Every structure is written in C-alpha cells, then in structure tokens.
Structure 1
Amino acid sequence: MESQQTLIENVSVVDPVSGLTQNQQVLIEDGKIAAVADTAQALTLNANAERFDAQNRYLIPGLWDMHVHFIYDPTLTNEMADLFLDYGVTSVRDTGGDIEQLVTLRDALPSPKPNIYISGPLLDGKFVVYDGSDPDRPPLGTGVPEPGAADAAVAALKEAGADFIKIYELVQPETYAALAAAARQRDMPIASHVPLMMTADSVGPMADSMEHLRNIELACASNWQELLAQRQQRIGNFTEGLGYALRAGLHSDQRIPAINNYDETRCNQVLDTLSSTIQVPTLRLNTVTHLKPFQREDWPAALAALPQATQFAWRARIDGLQQLMAIDPTFSKWSVFLIERLLARGVPIGAGTDTPIGLGIPGYSLHTELEFLVQGGMTPQQALYAATITPAEFFNMADTRGRLTKGMQADLVLLKDNPLTDIRHSRSVEAVMLAGEWVRK
C-alpha cells in the first residue's frame, strides 16, 4: 500500500532556526516531513499524491501555547480545541486542573484536536489558592501539605495520565524539593510558580519552566532578604483562612515595592541561575488590566466566535474593568521590560497565555503574546522559536517537533503574510496541518 503524500509547492519556508527560504517545496509523507527542497529539485511522488500550490504563502511550524486551562471556564471548555486550531495552535500545555476531568476531556474531544499535554492539579501547600471557594477560583489545585506526601502525589498523577507536574505558590521549600525529586524519578518535566517561601534563584534550577515572571521581582530587589523574611513570617503566622487571600495580600503589599527597589546587579545574578529554566511570561495576561485587549480592532470578531454564555460573562467583566479607577501599570511595564533582561542573560523564553483567564481567547491570545514578546525585545524569529521549539524542548521533543526539516512531525501552518517582517502576520492563517492532515484549509 502506497504511503500518503502531500506536496506543498512554491512556498516560502519560515524555520525558527534558519529563517526564511523562498521557492521551496515540502513533501509530507505519513504524517512527517519527508523532504524540504528547492522548487527546481525533482522529488519522487506517488500517483495519488496531493499537490497544494502555496504560491506567495509562508509556511511555519505549528504553534504552541505553553500555558492554558481547559476547565477554568466551563462555558468554553468544549470549544477551546477548535479555536486553537483556527488560529494555528497545534499543541498546548494545560497547566492546571483536575486530572481525571482533563484525561477524560482529552480522550473525548473529537478529532481533529491539538496535541494536548496535561499536568493535572496545581500542587499547592497546606493552604490552596485555587480551592473552588469562588467562581473565579475553580478547584484547579490540591494540597501537598508536607514532604512525605510528595512522592505519592506525583506517582498518582503519572498513573492517571499526567505528562508533567505544576507546582504552585503556597508549597513549603522542603515539599517543593520532594515534589521535584519525585517528578525527576519518573521523567516528568516540572512547570512551576515561584513559591512565596522561596526566591526565583532557589526554585529555578529545580524546574524546567517558570510561569508569569511572577515573584522574580522580589529576588531582583536590593532588599530581597528583608522582603523574603517578611513574607516567610506572614506565611508562618497564617493558621486559618483562604490561600487566595494570603497570596493576594503578599503580592499586593510587596510586588510594587520590590520593583521600585530593582537592583540590576542582583537581578543578573538571579537570571544567571535560570539559564536552563524556560520562562513563560504570559505578557498578555500581565498587561490585561493596563492595555485592555478588548480595545483592539480585531477583538469584536474574535469574541464573536466564542459561545454566547462566554460572551455575555466577558462583556460584564469588561464593563467592570472599564469602571475601575486607573490601574497601576508598574508590574505590566516590568514584565515587558524583563524580556530584554532575559535575552541579555541567555534565559530561554516560551510563549504561553493562561487562556482563558483574564479574557484570554484561545488561539487568538497566543498571537497577542507573540506581539508582546517582540515589543519586549525579541525578533519575530525569536518569538516564533518561543512558540515552536522552546515548548518542544520542555518535553524533550525538539528532535521531532518545532522545525521545518526532514523527519519532523508535520504540524504546519500556512500564512498569507511573512511573520518575519511583522510578527502580527502570524495571525494571517490560511491553512493548518496536523500530523500530515489538513485540518483547516
């Protein structure tokens, strides 16, 4: 039986490593890239090979969103997979939710669907931030109150189908180390927030990715030891109440003062410990109250693609944001500023959005994130790398995913315009291929 072939002809290939190569043909065979060659080169084709003329179009690898939550908003859960594909997002990393619900959802979603990798719940401490106590805090987390519980917690997640783990903010340092050791023993990558009892430079070497750039500001402050001591004392004295309230209070009281005491020499020391730890900035989330994505020209059309119940709830939320007094933009600006510092110190950056939290439209928001990464100092090619190769590196898949070279899985996106001249052109999606099959065309 002949293998299934598709030949994409007359296309400009945009590879995150080698950049733009014009007048190319890309042969897809049995779900993988079999050849990338100059248009003039003769390739051996089967009689039934599909030929696709991509004249004046640009081919990029399928995009990743490294930070999503499928079950955060039940009105959107079953629509997210399709929306990701609409925008050329062929792989996603779900970074927090009930493991049984996520495994069931991943299996039940009809094909075609993105490649979905799941962590299961946010592994928190004695107090849990996402404990289900409020509609805005669905039960995405679970408590690991002491180090002795860590191995069993990770073993259960592995058995249930988790691909990696996600450690959250109220974990104690000894428990963090135990969770990391349990994950390493099982070859499970580690995504992490910086726990409030720790600093970024103590956490980073134990993690494969860190999320939101959150709590790096404390480690980069000239008075970081004083701030950390205050934080540890408050957590130690907290004996009852909501984990969310504890975390929110510490962020509110310490984030802006820490940024105001930024010490570049100290920050360089911190960032130098993160050279093997992917930072997933989620800039579009960090800037949402300050830069208001709903004021973009393309927002109404993107919002209209969401379920009516989601649109109704989000419009109410937007009305609330419009009525707020001016939001302090310090952390928003700090997040964008930090991109240049990460690049200067050689810290890897991955593209993620936290969709649907903070008005994050699945798929659409990933392109917004790429724009912010470029505003922060990345080139368009570096931004594409952050949304293709870096996520594959997190899962040790960079030898099979993320590039337009022979042997790679054929997750591909065809664009109308060149994203290397303007990263906003990443939105000009005309066709999407998943494992060699056209799923949007």
Structure 2
Amino acid sequence: MRILFGLLLIILAPAPLVAQTTDGLRSQPFVFTHVTVIDATGASAKPDMTVVIIGDRITTLGKSRKVRVPANAQVVDATGKYLIPGLWDMHVHVFRNASQRPPNEYYFPLFIANGITGVRDMWTKLDKVAQVELWRKQFTERPGTVPRFGAVGTIVDGLPATWPNSDTVSTADEARRMVDTLKAGGVDFVKVYWNLSREAYFAIADQTKKQRIPFAGHVPISVSALEASDAGQRSIEHLDGISLACSTEEERLSKIKPSDLPPGKYQQQVFDTYDEQKCARLFSHFAKNSTWQVPTLSIFQRFNIDPNTLANDERLKYIPMAEREEWKRFITRLEKRTLEQNAQRRLQVAFKLIGGMRRAGVEFMAGTDLGNEYLYPGFSLHDELVLLVQAGLTSMEALQAATQNPAKFLGRLDSLGTIEKGKIADLVMLDANPLEDISNTRRINAVVVNGRYLPKEALQRMLAEVEATANRVKPR
C-alpha cells in the first residue's frame, strides 16, 4: 500500500489550494463566511459566522457582519453549512503486529476523507516508533495525507500472551523495566492487557507514575475495574471488566475462566447478576479518578448485524482484496454463532453502563477498535457516534467524545478539540446539522487539516483512488 501515498499526493495536487510554505503551512489567509459554527465546547450552534485561518491557526472568529476579511484571502461562502472540529478515533490499530505485516497505510486517506484528523494507535511496538515520527513529520509538511498521531501505546501482557508478538512480563521487576524501556523508546503510553498478573499490573501503575507516562487499556483478569481506576489507569477500553464489577457475584465469577464454560454462559451469568447500586459506587470512583471510557460499541455491534448485510456492505470496496478474503472467516464464525451467544444483550448492557456512567459524570471518548473485521477506516467512527447517542449521550456529548474530549485527554485542549480563536485549524464542514441528527457527521463537504483546505472534490478523488487500489489485482 505504500504506492498509495505517492498517488495520494498526485490526486490532491489539482485541488484549488493556495500556496503552501516549505513547512506545509498556508502562505495566504483562508476564510469560511456565513457558516454555522458548532465549536464543541457545549455552546449552542452559532449561525452566520466567519472563520479566518492563517497558517495552521484560527486567527479570527466572529459574526460575518463584524469580521473584516483579509484582502488577499481565499474565501469559501459556507451558507447553509456547519463547521465542527476535526474528529478523532481514539482506538485504532494501524500496525499489524500479530501478523508482522506492513502497516495499514491505506487507512490514512479514508481517515481524512471521513473528517478524522487525529488518532490514538493502541499497539505501536518500539521498532515502529520511528515510523510514527515520520508520519508526524509528514503531517506537518504535507497536511491532508496522514492524520495527526496524538498518542501511540505498546501492549504489555502477561503469560500466555493474548496476541502473538506481544511484549510480556511475569514479575514486578520485569514490569518496571518494561515501563522504563518503553518510555526511553518514545512510546506515549503503556497499554495493559488481559493476562497481566496482579503484581506486574500494580508495578506498571507505580512505575508509570515515576516515569510520568500514562497507562491505559484493558482491565486484566487479575484486577477489578475498581482497582484499575484507583491505581490510576487513564482509560478503560471496551468497557472492559465493568459489567463484572457491577455483578453481585463478582468475587465468584472473577475466579472462573470464561473459556471453561459453554460459549456465552459466562457473560450470561454476569448479566443476570447486574446490580445498579454496585455500579453506581463504581462509577463514582471513575468520575473521581478521571478514569476515561472508550466503549468501542462498534466492535460489539458487528455481532448483531445479519451476516449477509456484513458481506454486502458497500464500504468493502475500499478494503484490499486480500484483507476482504480474511474477513470472510468472521462471517463463517458469525453464521455458526460460536463467537457470541449474547450479542444483543451485551450491547443492551453496554448501553445501560454508558447511561449510568454519563449520569455519574464519567467522561467518554469515541473509538472503534479499527483493525478488526468489518470495521472501516473513518466510516466506522461515524457509526460509533450514532451508537453513543443510542446509548444515551446527547448529540453534543457524542460529538465532544470525538473532538473536545480527546484533546482534553491528551493534554492538548489549549490548541485542539474545539473551534476557538488561536487554536489549530483541524475542521470538518458538513452539509447538515449534527446536533439535530448525529449521523449528519457523515455528510462531509470539506475538511481542513492543519490549516490545509480539502474540498469535496479532493476528498472524492481520495476515495476513488483508494477504491481503485483496493480492487487492483496484483500480477502473479
């Protein structure tokens, strides 16, 4: 897929862009006029606004009748359009470490075309950090060809490892040394995983504090969700361990391996013993400890979709042929219903958990777990926002989960995440109001990446080239 990068630069070239400086920033002001701004701060939509961008920054933001447009500016009349901050997918897997194959660079134009300007990669091994730094350099030098890599983390698991090629530790000393190694190697956070022992997990929690590097990820089998929150885990992915922590039978069930029971029986026992008061106590800890949640509802929703619908999804045309063939194995397993017997109930419980956490003041981020079958780069983030609203978030809260909240989580709210004067111009222009219907985030008219304007025509060319490359038969 590396050939796609050269092609992407070619197809972007004809777009009506103004001059760029050598560092990729615009040398001429760019202006949206008469646009409705949804700034993602929680404020109401602001109609008839003018937004002036110089370089990579929003320099002026105000009512169109009051803003003076620079004489040499490129101006887009955005009457009837809606401007939101660039979106983030806070749980992606760009690298394919388990199979040791090249990274999925075809994701990048699909991210941009879908308004995803930033990502958090959840499994970047040490030998891949240099590649991420190259992408970060490319982001500033050639905006619009790659997303912003806000953070990358490395999986640390116990034995046996859940995934091939994972970094593993068995003791507290090994765990501490691993944290030191990852910090020295340039990783942004440590991703804890299911099979970590208690001593290794709490050693990671302690050593990351000393090294001033966060840890996030799964809740290991050996640790409760409450303990994880109190230990300082920054985010919990997939609502991991939370339904168990809400069970009146948590102590008994935590000693059982789910694989020791028939498929679906373990989850059924967890769901049958759900206790709302126990949940409420847990959620108050999450809120007090600022334990963020990345529910990745899209990964659960796949099990509720008819196999024929999955197999005929029109977005498959953007997925490389070889990868599509691999995905068919998921369809086969789904048809046999061996993966998940309680799929619909699991999603219902997830919605209940999210509703309870929202009422308790727990904060959320949108993430998809991209890298799994039938999750689509960029597209699935919009599906995730719809699911978050179905779970009880307002449209504004769902939008914030993909804009303001990631910036806050990453410590970048001073420059990213909302539309305000002085902030970086990562923006998405929509044809319809996402506060009226969150699915309107799919109705993308233009994207601005680090100050570079990409109109609909450029985005459509990007999609067309990805499709052509994905369906190109390689010579034998």
Counterpart code for 1:336: F
Q: Shift in Å at residue 267 of structure 1?
A: 0.9
1:338 aligns with 2:353: yes
Distance 1:399 1:293 in 2: 44
- 2:36 aligned to which of 12, 36, 42: 12
Q: How many residues align?
A: 416
- 1:328 aligned to which of 342, 362, 368: 342
Distance 2:106 2:76 in 1: 29
**CA, structure 1 residues 427+13, in 2 after alignment: closer, same or farther (shift >3 Å)?**
same
Please give the residue correspondences for 1:127-206 in structure 2 after superposition, counting only pairs within 5 Å.
Answer: 127-131=160-164, 139=165, 141-205=166-230, 206=232
1:314 aligns with 2:327: yes
Q: Which moved more, 1:346-355 or 1:319-328?
A: 319-328
Q: Shift in Å at residue 106 of structure 1?
A: 5.2
Please give the residue correspondences for 1:27-426 in structure 2 after superposition, counting only pairs within 5 Å.
Answer: 27-43=52-68, 45=70, 47-72=71-96, 74=101, 77-104=104-131, 107=134, 111=142, 112-131=145-164, 139=165, 141-205=166-230, 206-228=232-254, 230-231=255-256, 248-249=259-260, 254-275=266-287, 276-292=290-306, 295=309, 300-324=313-337, 327-329=341-343, 330-426=345-441
Equivalent residues of 2:29, 2:74 under 8 A apart: yes
Q: Percent identity?
A: 31
Counterpart code for 1:412: L
Distance 2:76 2:280 in 1: 49
Equivalent residues of 1:163, 1:189 under 8 A apart: yes
Counterpart code for 1:435: N
DSSP-derived class of the 1:368 partner: helix
**CA, structure 1 residues 8+249, in 2 after alignment: closer, same or farther (shift >3 Å)?**
farther
CA displacement 1:165-187 (0-9 Å, x = unmatched):
21111112222222122222333
Q: Shift in Å at residue 356 of structure 1?
A: 2.0
CA displacement 1:3-59 (0-9 Å, x = unmatched):
5321111111112221311100111122011121001013252x4322112111110
Distance 1:439 1:142 in 2: 40
DSSP-derived class of the 2:159 partner: coil
Q: Shift in Å at residue 76 of structure 1?
A: 6.9
Which residue is 1:241 aligned to?
none
Query: TM-score scaled by structure 2?
Result: 0.81
Equivalent residues of 2:190, 2:215 under 8 A apart: yes
Counterpart code for 1:150: A
Distance 1:149 1:296 in 2: 43
Equivalent residues of 2:268, 2:342 under 8 A apart: no
DSSP-derived class of the 2:83 partner: strand
Equivalent residues of 1:27, 1:33 under 8 A apart: yes
CA displacement 1:314-350 (0-9 Å, x = unmatched):
2453354235478323222211222111111111111
Equivalent residues of 1:119, 1:166 under 8 A apart: no
Distance 1:218 1:263 in 2: 10
Q: How large is the Cα RMSD of the aligned pairs?
A: 2.5
Unpaired runs of 5+ residues, structure 1, are 132-138, 235-246
DSSP-derived class of the 1:33 partner: strand
Equivalent residues of 1:12, 1:22 under 8 A apart: yes
Counterpart code for 2:112: L
Distance 2:213 2:61 in 1: 33
